[in-house]
Amino acid sequence: MNGWTGRILRINLTEQKVNIEEPDFESYLSFLGGRGLGCQILWQEVGPRVDPLSPANKLVFLTGPLTGARVPTSGRFTVTSKSPLTGTVFDSNSGGIWGARLKKAGYDGLIVEGKAERPVYIVINEKEAVIKDAGRLWGLNVPDTTGTIAAAEGTGYSVACIGPAGENRVKISCIMNDNTRALGRGGLGAVMGSKLLKAIAVKGSRKIDPAQPDKLEFVLYETNKWIKANPITSQGLPEFGTPVLVNLFNECGIFPSYNFQQSQFTDAYYVSGEAVAEKILVGKKGCYGCPIKCTRLTRTSRDSGEGPEYESIWALGPECGISDLEAVAEAGYLCNRLGLDTISVGVTIGCAMEMAEKKMIEADIRFGDASRMCSLVEDIAYRRGLGRELGEGSRNFARKHGGERFAMQVKGLELPAYDPRGVQGMGLGFATSNRGGCHLRAYMVGPEILGIPKMVDRFSVEGKAGLTIFYQNVNAAMDSLIICRFMGLAVSEEYFARLLSAVTGVNFQPQDLHIIGERIWNLERMYNLREGLSSADDTLPERLLREPVKNGPARGRVVELDRMLEDYYKFRGWDVSGIPTQKKLSELGLEVI
């Protein structure tokens, strides 16, 4: 078998048992790996009555068939679980080198179930998988945890772990790997903390041989030409990192600020990619197998670390009315060390700032107060004072204080740095995302703003349902291969299929990836429906539907969601209530799932 090892570890923390399982090959063909296979496992093993923070929930760590296979950006892995923040099926993926090392240790993935009696960590290598005591690790931040394990286990290990936020079951905590890479969204760090699992260290050096090495060499040559030919992947991201988007999106009027009250930020330049390069940049870095190298190594007058990238700059900056680049960077460093999702942290704080401004809560926080950001981040991680409530996420926080309309979230997940009133397709993508407010499920700013693969009218609703579905399906397949979303800006699914065929020896066509992606999307939908979600959850914050943008290029606009949603359900093959029809499920081979 090429591309897959055919082996998945299952570790039961309650019983302290380690087993190796061999999935049916049909599961690999139907779901590939990563996000797809994770959803299938969750569907089968974690039902609707499971509390996300109970021992019955599971963490499913998975690689994909391209992981570690010399394909550009193929060092990624996913973790799938039931989210304590949203209650939905949830997956998050991350770069670094952890995923490649798990694959090279001889495993496609790892299922963690149950709950340990006391804090533990797991060590995985080519010879064994062992559960060890983590008493001395509990309470440590991410870099200290990583360093302590490296000292104990020796060289060559890559560590995925939680910080204090995950230990304290903060619902906007994340799992960190390789010190600064993040499985950032959905509160998966809290799930890991609920199991008293502090870390997983992996080491592997097995060679991953492709089925058709000569074919792979040729397709890699062609693929790399596309990456070099695209100005975003060859120039913009390598030169300025993801913050290269700040000035562009601000000019387009889709850069939300002050908790989405505005769609532009007057001082955007001071937190832009250009400002990062001029003021705090000290180096660049990339994940395993990545030619793009978008990571920024930075230093402020008081601290140093990685980032901040586009979403973190926005969430900890303009979303909260802050233009102090050093303060934003330092808050980002702290989120990484404590294990917090920067998007959810910033948007939840922004929500609280607006509610304080409107006298709905009694709190000494206000827009533009950069001096409070780091202390608020610490309070969230350690559940202190106001941070105890903020750590529940914006929906729960705002609902408690009677201001749910000020929570900028979908299905409980905080929205990212795009005002959909100026990009209609992005609004539809947010509303229909199976994991909540996410830009990566259908990155509609590609065609609507960046002109990739071609420019479409961003203010029009015509054709947006079909285009959104197209990208949702393709991206579900990409998340199962697994490759970075940035590669999709330069390389089409035709090349993904050719790479997959060369690595596995199985003949995949582009249309096969579309069908696999559609299968994954529909199974995720069925999971959420089983959890009690409905078409009523396919919506956006009232502000985006009812409050027109006041100034800038999107002035006077709201998201015309209803006009797009009807077409979306129809084109998905779902009924008017957003439920997949039996005909659609049968077409996708899901009728017996």
Q: What residue type is 254 in one-letter code?
A: I
pLDDT in tens, 241-286: 999 999 999 999 999 999 999 999 999 999 999 999 999 999 999 8
Give the mean model confidence (pLDDT) for residues 35-55.
96
Q: C-alpha 307: how far from its chain's center?
A: 16
Q: What is the per-residue pLDDT for 559? A: 98
Q: Please tell me the distance from the alpha carbon of residue 461 to that of residue 423, in angstroms, as a whole number.
A: 9
pLDDT tens string 452-491? 989 999 999 999 999 999 999 999 999 999 999 999 999 9
User: Between 1.10.599.10, 3.40.50.2000, 3.40.50.300, 1.10.8.870, what CATH number should domain 420-587 receive?
Assistant: 1.10.599.10
Cβ neighbours of 89 (radius 10 Å): 27
- The confidence score (pLDDT) of residue 478 equals 96
pLDDT in tens, 348-361: 999 999 999 999 99
Task: Name which of 338, 335, 325 is nearest 298 in CA terms.
Answer: 325
Q: Give the pLDDT of residue 1.
A: 82
pLDDT higher than 80, residue 127: yes
Q: What is the mean pLDDT of residues 548-572?
A: 97
Q: Specify the 3-state DSSP secondary structure of 252.
A: coil
Give the pLDDT of residue 49.
Answer: 87
CB 413, CB 391: distance < 8 Å? no
- Express as a percent the part of the chain with pLDDT over 70: 100
d(CA 199, CA 177): 9
Please, which pLDDT band fits residue 591 given cuts at 50, 70 and 90?
confident
Does residue 417 surpass a pLDDT of 60? Answer: yes
Instruction: Enumerate the β-bridge partners of residue 79.
Output: 61, 92
- What is the average pLDDT score of the chain? 96
pLDDT over 70 at 544, yes or no: yes
Q: Is the pLDDT score of 593 beyond 80?
A: no
Domain range summary for the chain, segments of one domain joined by +: 8-202, 251-414, 420-587
Cα pseudo-dihedral 427, 487, 273, 236, rounded to 10: -120
DSSP 286-320: --TT-SS--EEEEE-SS-EEE---HHHHHHHTGGG
pLDDT for the residue numbered 569:
98
CATH architecture of 251-414: Orthogonal Bundle (1.10)
Q: Is the pLDDT of residue 37 over 70?
A: yes
Confidence of residue 592 (pLDDT cuts 50, 70, 90): low
Is residue 97 over pLDDT 70?
yes
Report, as an integer, the average pLDDT of 84-104: 97
Q: Can the peptide bond before residue 482 be classed as cis, meaning omega within 30 degrees of 0? A: yes
β-strand pairing of 129-133 with 120-124: antiparallel
Residues 500-526: what's their mean pLDDT?
A: 97
Q: What percent of the chain has pLDDT over 90?
A: 98
The model's pTM: 0.97
User: Is 8-202 a domain of CATH 3.60.9.10?
Assistant: yes
> How far apart are the C-alpha atoms of 579 and 481, rounded to whole Å?
27
Work out the average pLDDT over 111-127: 98
pLDDT for 147 equals 97
- Please give the Cα distance from 87 to 49 (Å, whole number): 11
> Which residue reads 């539809």 in tokens?
428
